[in-house]
Chain A
Amino acid sequence: MLNFNYIALIPLLPIISFLIIGLIGRRYFPVFSGLLGTLSLLVSFLLSAFVAYQYFFEFGKVDGVYQQIIALKYVWLQFSPNIAIDMGILLDPISVMMIVIVTFISLMVHIYSIGYMHGEPRYATYYAFLSLFTFSMLGLVLSSNIFQIYIFWELVGVSSFLLIGYYYEKPSAVAASKKAFIVTRFADLGFLIGILVLSYYSETLDFQTLIQRLTTEGSYLSGIAGASFLGCSALTWGLVLVFAGGAGKSAMFPFHIWLPDAMEGPTPVSALIHAATMVVAGVYLVARLFPVFSNSGPNALEVVAYIGIFSSMLAAIIACTQTDIKRVLAYSTMSQIGFMMFALGVSGYHGEEGVGFMASMFHLFTHSIFKALLFLGAGAVIHYVHSNEMKDMGGLRKLMPITHITFLLACLAIAGIPPFAGFFSKEEILLACWNSNKLIFGAAVLTAGLTAFYMFRLYFSIFWSKEYKSHNTNHDADAHHGEAPGTMLLPLIILGGLSVVAGFVPFSHLVTADGLAFETEFHLGFAIGPILIAVSAIILAWYMYCKESIVPQKIADSLKGFYTAAYRKFYFDEIYLFITKKIVFNLIGRPAAWIDKNIFDGFINLLASVTESISESIKSLQSGKLQEYAIYFFAGTLGFVLLFIYLWA
């Protein structure tokens, strides 16, 4: 069973379907391209599930420790005997978990999109981009080499760009895709520098070798820890810079500005990319380098933790004020990713101290399920109502029963109510925080409460609140006043069911920081506090939003300035735009442009004009007059004669 060649099929099937659909799908089989994409992904998912089953239950464990196995390795670019970019597949608890998640959520989104994107003119292109994205994400999680992960990182960014800007006729969508790409690219600059720093000192690009060299005592570790720059060791710098790249992709502060705008893309895209897969790439990166972070770079790990909690709280506050349902979900994603980040940040490494790592991965797993469900449900609602705003919705529970129930299940899961999935993962995170950093624990509990509040605000505003009035009167009414089509409901039902039971997976036996399984205990006394906070937040939301009331508005007015700042997302976009336009453009851009235009171009123009004026002045030598030519000839001959006879010898 150790023949790993079929594992290569897992990312290969999506890329082949991308090529087929992309090149000939639009012309020859536009409608079938959806089925082709879905089918290839189904096979990928089944293979991933098979690999997961085999890895976790058959061969992965050696002496009780889950091994990192290199399934395939291919030397691609050899820079020197030490440094080479290999393309390989690394199997390890987190990567196996990720391929299951990615293929499963992608499959759900593919099925959903058959209904949601039905009738779109560029239907085949959409499926081609989805396949490209899935391929890139799978390549990212299976990477065995830090440069390979960077390559796929960029590919993921490109696919995200293509998908966010799918409705390219809308200028807002184009602007959003550019923003996403530019911000993440800017963060990736840090990532690249971090890669270079780490690989320079450890003299390798391969993950296993790099981690081993930077965690065991030896010349490599002392070399990198010894070299210091502006007060911090090179190791800290390298890790922080790598984390900066991860923060860009995961929409952590200060690179979070692209995520809300990325909601311009189609809703299934938001479900796939901006809920379950791409945004967790940063978390995955930190998890992949976790041994280095925790053993050798505790300073960097603190940075991770604080940025995680800060982003989490920031997003939760902003989400309480937003009225576009997709934006609420986007900030919710940012908040939950923050949870995963700070869970990693407070984690230890060995055995039970690694509960933070395990909790983070567990939360990644459960979050992907219920966040995808939330987005797909929101998509169904938007499909029905033709608007994103909460004020256009209300009372939809009677009109869309299945969507309602599944949405409710997801909200309960994210709020952390037992026995739904989110409860178990969130409780483990809080346990990890309690054990290491009480400040972060307090903030985390507060954020969890806010999470429950704004999610139920969303739920009540959509499905209860007021009676639904359709705004489209000349719409072909009755054809549309039913629930969403079956292809859209099936994923909702599947994901709804999973968000109930996914919490019961014994994660700590499977995915841990050092590979050893440990038992997690369930302390009722510890868990009861957050549960009570969540329940009271839900009751508060019910009170404010279940029926139309003036209470929310009164609270908003009383919090005047703060409310406005939160509603305007704390003006981050305006600040960044100010910095770029007024400072960077004026102080750097304009002088550089001036130098280029006047000095460099001017120099070339000067050369040209000098040549031109010289030629103008000597062109009269060619007068066309025979005798003048003869004079020049005669004089020249005389000159040569004198030269050769008198000066040569």
Chain B
Amino acid sequence: MNEIGLEHILFVSTALFFIGVFGFLTRKNMITMLMAIELILNSVNINFIAFNKYLYADKLDGLFFTIFIIAIAAAEASVAIAIIIHLYRSLKSIDVDDADLMKF
């Protein structure tokens, strides 16, 4: 334990991932669910960078994945916000349990 190894960083990313999952499954507000999704995506980013640095230092593939994930996360967050705003106009609430139109 005198060196920060790959496992430490992987622990951080794993914990962050499951924190994000917990938040996604628990939060009632649509915007806070979106925040949890961002946490999940970031945990994946950490994973890529860690593997790139520790296992594949001669290539930059992990880094590029991270860049692209960041770009895509940005796009997805903006589309999600647009949908939430549109839904807010119909339902007058951002409670995710109010959007149960697809029930039986």
Contacts and interface: CB of A to CB of B under 8 A. Distances in A.
Nearest to A629: B102
B58 interface: no
Nearest to B21: A634
Given A624-B99, A625-B97, A626-B96, A619 B104 contact: yes
Interface string B85-102: 000000000001101111
Interface string A625-637: 1110011001000
A624 B25 contact: no
B24 A630 contact: yes
A631 B25 contact: yes
A631 to B, nearest CB: 5
A620 B104 CA distance: 7
Given A634-B21, A634-B25, A627 B96 contact: yes
A78 interface: no
Interface in B24-76: 24-27, 33
Contacts of A631: 25
Contacts of A622: 102-104
Contacts of B104: 619-620, 622-624
Contacts, number: 33
Contacts of A625: 96-97, 99-100, 103
A630 to B, nearest CB: 6
A620 B33 CA distance: 23
Nearest to A635: B25
Nearest to B18: A634
Contacts of B21: 634
Contacts of A619: 104
B99 A623 contact: no
Contacts of A630: 24-25
Contact of A627 (B25, B101, B102, B103): B25
B24 A627 contact: yes
Contacts of B99: 624-626
Contacts of B24: 627, 630
B53 to A, nearest CB: 27
Interface residues of B, number: 14
Interface in A604-649: 619-620, 622-627, 630-631, 634
B103 A623 contact: yes
Nearest to B22: A634
Contacts of B103: 622-625
A622 to B, nearest CB: 5
Given A631-B25, A634-B21, A634-B25, A624 B102 contact: yes
B21 to A, nearest CB: 6
Given A630-B25, A634-B21, A623 B96 contact: no
A617 to B, nearest CB: 12
A625 B100 CA distance: 5
Contacts of A634: 21, 25
B90 to A, nearest CB: 15
A624 B95 CA distance: 13
Nearest to B27: A627
Interface in A436-468: none
Quick one: which of B27, B102, B104 has the most chain A CB within 10 A?
Answer: B104
B95 to A, nearest CB: 10
Nearest to B103: A624
A619 B101 CA distance: 14
A623 B97 CA distance: 9
Contacts of A626: 96, 99
Contacts of B96: 625-627
Contacts of A623: 100, 103-104
A631 B96 CA distance: 14
Residue from the set B24, B25, B27 with the largest chain A CB neighbour count within 10 Å: B25
Contacts of B33: 627
Nearest to A619: B104
Contacts of A620: 104
A631 B26 CA distance: 9
A626 B104 CA distance: 13
Nearest to B98: A625
B102 to A, nearest CB: 4
A614 B99 CA distance: 26
A623 B21 CA distance: 20
B3 to A, nearest CB: 29
Contacts of B102: 622, 624
A520 B67 CA distance: 125
- Which of A619, A622, A626, A631 has the most B CB atoms < 10 Å from its CB? A626
B62 to A, nearest CB: 24
A624 B100 CA distance: 4
Nearest to B24: A630
A620 B27 CA distance: 21
Interface in A541-570: none
Contacts of B101: 624
A136 B101 CA distance: 70
B17 to A, nearest CB: 12
Nearest to B100: A624
A627 B100 CA distance: 10
Nearest to A622: B104
A624 B96 CA distance: 10
A627 B102 CA distance: 13
A634 B36 CA distance: 15
Most buried by B among A623, A627, A634: A627
A521 to B, nearest CB: 98
Interface in A227-272: none
A104 B27 CA distance: 100
Contacts of B27: 627
A615 to B, nearest CB: 9
A630 B101 CA distance: 16
A9 B103 CA distance: 75
A282 to B, nearest CB: 69
A630 B25 CA distance: 7
A35 B101 CA distance: 77
A626 B21 CA distance: 13
A625 B102 CA distance: 8
Interface of B: 21, 24-27, 33, 96-97, 99-104
12 contacts: A619-B104, A623-B100, A623-B103, A624-B100, A624-B104, A625-B96, A625-B103, A627-B26, A627-B27, A627-B33, A630-B25, A634-B25
Given A623-B104, A627-B33, 8 more contacts: A622-B103, A623-B100, A624-B99, A625-B97, A626-B99, A627-B26, A627-B97, A634-B25
> What 10 pairs across the A-B complex have the smallest Cβ distances?
A624-B103, A624-B100, A619-B104, A624-B102, A622-B104, A625-B100, A623-B103, A625-B97, A631-B25, A627-B25
